[in-house]
């Protein structure tokens, strides 16, 4: 991992010295803990703050939306590069304004179960890469949800969401949740109440999942952010697998591709409706 850190710093220093970018977004050590936190490098002297390890859990790609009109470098895990590809496909970013330092052979992040299911261990797009390309490790797919009946699945999620205190950490961590006004904050119409009763909690999570259908890259950022250890990722990961199984669509793999629900093919299978 030390070699990757040296390479990241070397590339970031070059970008800053040559004034290719105005800033580099990466990972660094938190001030008072051993946790990793986002750092924003704005001079060559600051590149020594850049680090990378198995605790580099946060999805950095979302910060790019704060700097759409300026040139920004970013240290990007493979899932971050998929998020960037999704932003490009949705016209949320201009490719010329992003310089991507991609992490090859991502080791997977501590306490992130999504990494057990990840087949994308190298960047899907990058301007620079650090480390050597790696092979996909043996995957540990959790098919528990798929094996449940509809009633069992509903009971599972009702139980999970009963612990939700609606802090919206999952929403804030998610790269897809970039709406200027979230439906939960709307009062005309009001979709969800302000309390944490089971009905409102279930409605919040279910509607959020529907907004992410065909867009979630199963990065696990929502799960890691949740202070109540709720299985937040389960719904969206289930939809991601379903999109790949039925439509052969994997979000964030091609910046030129349209999102799943913004395009259609009349020859697509429609199980439960036509078939």
Same domain? For 163 and 250 the reply is yes
Task: Check residue 274 and give its pLDDT.
Answer: 42
Same domain? For 153 and 252 the reply is yes
In-domain check, residue 135:
no
User: Domain boundary at 130, 165, 181, which?
Assistant: 130
Same domain? For 86 and 202 the reply is no
In-domain check, residue 268:
no
In-domain check, residue 184:
yes
Same domain? For 166 and 126 the reply is no
Bridge partners, 44 (sequence order) = none
Domain that holds residue 119: 2-130
Same domain? For 37 and 120 the reply is yes
Contacts of 25 (CB under 8 A, 6+ apart): 38, 39, 40, 41, 60, 63, 64, 72, 73, 74, 75
Same domain? For 184 and 209 the reply is yes
Same domain? For 225 and 109 the reply is no
Phi, psi of 173 (to 5 degrees): -80, -25
Task: Check residue 257 and give its pLDDT.
Answer: 87
Same domain? For 118 and 187 the reply is no
Same domain? For 148 and 191 the reply is yes
Q: Would you state the structure tokens that stand for residue 205, as one six-digit string?
A: 């999570």
In-domain check, residue 139:
no
Q: Which of the residues in the chain have pLDDT under 70?
A: 1, 268-275
In-domain check, residue 236:
yes
Same domain? For 69 and 186 the reply is no
Phi, psi of 201 (to 5 degrees): -60, -45
Task: Check residue 275 and give its pLDDT.
Answer: 43
Task: Check residue 273 and give its pLDDT.
Answer: 41
In whole angstroms, give the CA distance from residue 145 to residue 215: 20
DSSP string, 225-256: H-TT---THHHHHHHHHHHHHHH---TTS-TT
User: Domain boundary at 130, 160, 189, which?
Assistant: 130
Specify whether the CB–CB gap between 208 and 232 falls below 8 A.
Answer: no
User: Domain boundary at 68, 98, 130, which?
Assistant: 130
In-domain check, residue 271:
no
Q: How many domains does the chain have?
A: 2
Q: Using one digit for the tens of pLDDT, what is the confidence trace for 197-240?
A: 788 888 888 888 888 888 899 999 999 999 999 998 988 888 88
Specify whether the CB–CB gap between 88 and 258 falls below 8 A.
Answer: no
In-domain check, residue 177:
yes
**Tokens 């070699």 -> residue:** 3
Same domain? For 236 and 210 the reply is yes
Same domain? For 226 and 118 the reply is no
């Amino acid at each position: 991992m030390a070699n990757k850190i040296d390479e990241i710093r070397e590339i970031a220093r070059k970008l800053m010295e040559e004034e290719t970018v105005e800033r580099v977004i990466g990972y660094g050590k938190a001030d008072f803990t051993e946790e990793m936190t986002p750092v924003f490098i704005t001079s060559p002297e600051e590149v020594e703050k850049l680090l990378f390890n198995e605790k580099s859990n946060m999805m950095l790609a979302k910060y790019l939306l704060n700097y759409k009109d300026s040139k920004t470098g970013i240290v990007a895990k493979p899932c971050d590069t998929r998020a960037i590809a999704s932003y490009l496909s949705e016209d949320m970013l201009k490719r010329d304004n992003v310089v991507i330092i991609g992490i090859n052979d991502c080791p997977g992040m501590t306490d992130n179960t999504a990494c057990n299911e990840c087949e994308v261990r190298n960047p899907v797009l990058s301007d620079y890469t650090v480390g050597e390309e790696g092979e996909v490790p043996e995957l540990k797919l959790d098919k528990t949800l798929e094996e449940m009946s509809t009633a069992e699945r509903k009971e599972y999620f009702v139980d999970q969401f009963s612990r939700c205190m609606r802090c919206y950490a999952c929403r804030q961590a998610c790269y897809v949740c970039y709406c200027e006004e979230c439906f939960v904050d709307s009062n005309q119409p009001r979709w969800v109440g302000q309390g944490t009763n089971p009905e409102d909690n279930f409605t919040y999570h279910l509607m959020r999942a529907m907004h992410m259908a065909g867009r979630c890259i199963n990065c696990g950022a929502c799960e890691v952010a949740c202070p109540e250890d709720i299985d937040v990722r389960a719904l969206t990961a289930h939809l991601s697998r379903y999109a790949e199984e039925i439509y052969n669509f994997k979000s964030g793999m091609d910046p030129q591709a349209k999102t799943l629900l913004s395009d259609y093919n009349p020859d697509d299978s429609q199980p439960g409706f036509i078939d």
